[in-house]
A = this chain, B = another copy of it.
Amino acid sequence: MNGSLTKEQTLNLRKQFIGPSCTLFFKSDPVKIVSAKGQYMYDEEGHEYLDCINNVAHVGHCHPQVVAAGVEQMGQLNTNSRFLHDNIVLLAQKLVSHLPNQLCMVYFTNSGSEANDLALRLSRHHTKGTEIIALDRAYHGHVVSLIDLSTYKLDRMIDGVHTKPDFVHIAECPDTYRGKYNTASNPNDDLATLYANNVEDILDNIAKKDKQVCCFIAESMQSCGGQVIYPPGYLTKVFQSVRAAGGVCILDEVQVGFGRVGTHMWSFSTQNVVPDILTLGKPMGNGHPLSAVITTKEIAASFEGCGVEYFNTYGGNPVSCAIGLAVLDIIEKDKLLENAVKIGKLMETKLNELKEKYTLIGDVRGLGMFWGLDLVKSRATRAPATDEAAYIVSRLKEEYILFSRDGPDENVLKFKAPMCFNKDNVEHLILKLDKILAELTSNKEH
């Protein structure tokens, strides 16, 4: 089907038939991509783009082993999980083998949204609590129950229809650079404790109102919120408080799981915690709709105790699970965690060199294959440099590098490339970033 329409025709049909809320990258001049391989994407004219943003294509676009696994299973059987099949149990077993012992019961779903929604259902039936604590700037999915607690979306709603329900409580985002407590305003304080105390206060307020906390939900590192790495010890303290109050702790690794941090398979290990419920998604199927919820035997038993079965038509089907097994296999075989560690170190060095050179870069933060550049108009005020971020992303596209920006002020450049991103790719990216940052500096001087 590819290539049968001109780019203009594609764009016109899109305007005619696709809901206008579904927006394109580079709205003023969108990219038409017709094929992809590894960390590269190709447009209809054959231009090669270096992909720094598609974290879903985790082991690389169109990885032959993933394709082969899908192809083989599609021709044989694709049906629901009410029939016994090896793939679903083998994938569950494999996932569990990568996790602490207590996380051993798996539910397969089709998207991060479905996974997080199910995590909420599990936590409600287990705790019988109603109150949910989520982080400011969080995005956990596009279904009603998750928009309810995602200020990343709620804060931008302008029609007054979908607002935060009373049972949702928003905790300060533990962003040590730009959050309420930060290295400028609180240079001598333990920021982890300050932010954890904020959650403690929310728990106190819930108790005062005679309500019961259901769960605390957060990404292990916040992605859409602006590539936020929590201060060491933050989640440990929060988990202690939440559990003491009878709540469960949900960690969302839809964006940050499967080795993205490099040093560990799961980002939560960098905070030395284990959640009660873990949700997985995007990279899990390398683009194929596949996600999961993994929890403890106790929580799974509580959910079963509600008396109603959980059935998800496509969840855990043999094709999805064959692909999931291939992804896990490739992560090991291609040593993608080791690569993430190596690339992460190089990115850290190179990005900090750029920071030395350009005051526009206020903060460089990240781990492995997950980096953020927080751009500022002034290092003293840390005022977000939103226009400059837009300029850089747009210029990088002209240089055939796909990059994005995010955070509440859309001033944080986000790097979350496929895990096969290599040393040469880093050198190339840094060269172009350097060039564009120099342009900005020179524009400013004139």
Residues of B contacting A35 with CB < 8 Å?
76-77
Q: How far is the CB of A272 from chain B (nearest CB, A)?
A: 25
Find residues 31-87 in chain A having any chain B CB closer than 8 Å to their own CB. 31-36, 41, 54, 56-57, 61-62, 66-67, 70-71, 73-87
Given A24-B84, A84-B31, A111-B114, verify A92-B17 contact (CB < 8 Å). Answer: yes
Q: Tell me, yes or no, whether A242 is within 8 Å of chain B by CB.
A: no
Q: Tell me, yes or no, whether A2 is within 8 Å of chain B by CB.
A: yes
Given A17-B104, A22-B316, A61-B79, verify A159-B307 contact (CB < 8 Å). Answer: yes
Expressed in whole angstroms, the Cα–Cα distance for A62 and B76 within the complex equals 7
Interface readout for A10-25 with B: 1 if CB under 8 Å, 0 if not? 1101101111111111
Contact of A5 among B22, B86, B92, B110 (CB under 8 A): B86
Contact A81 B289 (CB under 8 A): no
Contact A114 B143 (CB under 8 A): yes
Q: Tell me, yes or no, whether A313 is within 8 Å of chain B by CB.
A: yes
Q: How far is the CB of A325 from chain B (nearest CB, A)?
A: 7
Expressed in whole angstroms, the Cα–Cα distance for A67 and B310 within the complex equals 28
Contact of A19 among B23, B105, B117 (CB under 8 A): B105
Residues of B contacting A70 with CB < 8 Å?
70-71, 74
Contact B288 A32 (CB under 8 A): no
Contact of A84 among B7, B61, B162 (CB under 8 A): B7
Given A41-B79, A56-B80, verify A74-B62 contact (CB < 8 Å). Answer: yes
Expressed in whole angstroms, the Cα–Cα distance for A85 and B118 within the complex equals 31
Contact A18 B288 (CB under 8 A): no
Expressed in whole angstroms, the Cα–Cα distance for A316 and B80 within the complex equals 21
Contact B21 A303 (CB under 8 A): yes
Q: Tell me, yes or no, whether A128 is within 8 Å of chain B by CB.
A: yes
Contact A111 B312 (CB under 8 A): yes
Copies of chain A in the complex: 2
Contact B300 A82 (CB under 8 A): no
Given A79-B57, A93-B13, verify A157-B307 contact (CB < 8 Å). Answer: yes
Question: What's the tally of chain A residues with a CB closer than 8 Å to chain B?
Answer: 116
Contact A96 B19 (CB under 8 A): no
Expressed in whole angstroms, the Cα–Cα distance for A86 and B32 within the complex equals 9
Residues of B contacting A90 with CB < 8 Å?
1, 4-5, 13
Contact B287 A314 (CB under 8 A): yes
Interface readout for A320-355 with B: 1 if CB under 8 Å, 0 if not? 101001000000000000000000000000000000
Given A117-B143, A282-B313, A306-B159, verify A82-B19 contact (CB < 8 Å). Answer: no
Q: How far is the CB of A305 from chain B (nearest CB, A)?
A: 6
Q: Tell me, yes or no, whether A113 is within 8 Å of chain B by CB.
A: yes
Contact A33 B307 (CB under 8 A): no
Contact B76 A2 (CB under 8 A): yes
Contact B84 A19 (CB under 8 A): no
Interface readout for A294-314 with B: 1 if CB under 8 Å, 0 if not? 010000110111111111111
Q: How far is the CB of A181 from chain B (nearest CB, A)?
A: 28
Q: Tell me, yes or no, whether A281 is within 8 Å of chain B by CB.
A: yes
| Stretch of A119-127, A197-205, A379-387, A419-427 on the interface side | A119-127
Question: Can you report 9 residue pairs joining A to B where beta carbons are below 8 Å apart?
Answer: A4-B86, A7-B84, A11-B84, A16-B104, A20-B301, A125-B159, A128-B160, A158-B307, A287-B319
Task: Please give 14 more A-B residue pairs, beta carbons under 8 A apart, in addition to A13-B89, A13-B92, A25-B82.
Answer: A1-B73, A2-B77, A5-B89, A5-B90, A13-B90, A19-B107, A19-B303, A21-B308, A62-B74, A117-B144, A124-B161, A158-B306, A158-B307, A288-B314
